Amino acid sequence: MLPVPKKFFITAAAAEGESKLNAFDNALLKAGIGNVNLIRVSSILPPGAEFDPELVIPPGSLVPTAYGYIISDKPGEIIAAAVGIGFSNDTFGVIMEFSGRCSRQEAEAEIEKMIREAFATRNMPLADMKIAAVEHRVEKIGCAFAAVPLWY
């Protein structure tokens, strides 16, 4: 059985690269998680998980992460990525991810809408939310990335 993560943070960053993979990697580095191995997970924040914005994860670690990203090679195009966490007072939270060819403000609005719907669907009261988003104007090959890494 896998352990349940106890800590998390929220991050968003954008970067350019000479290839699509390098743009993605450079965005991960700017987001503070470029030297770990992301394991993409769906969108539930474990009950009692503690927000730790200064969390340092050892290089090479396997890190459960909810994330969204977009890569574009169209110079001048605006791209954005966002993640958000909806918190309940007494149980688990819900993480939502979004990316698109839009502004940061549009990405944030989509995240807020999705969080509100997720809580309404679960018939849970929404106590609070955190959102991280980034917008990027592509120069050559750009990536916008947003994530919630979970840790132990």
Residue positions annotated with a catalytic role: 37, 42-43, 97
Q: Which two three-digit tokens encode residue 152?
A: 């132990």
Pairing of strands 37-40, 62-72: parallel
DSSP string, 130-152: EEEEEEEE-SSSEEEEEEEEEE-
12: nearest Cα among 76, 78, 84, 63: 84
12: nearest Cα among 31, 39, 35, 25: 31
Q: Which two three-digit tokens encode residue 83?
A: 């993640």
Task: Say which DSSP state 86 is in.
Answer: E
Interatomic CA distance for residues 65 and 139, integer angstroms: 28
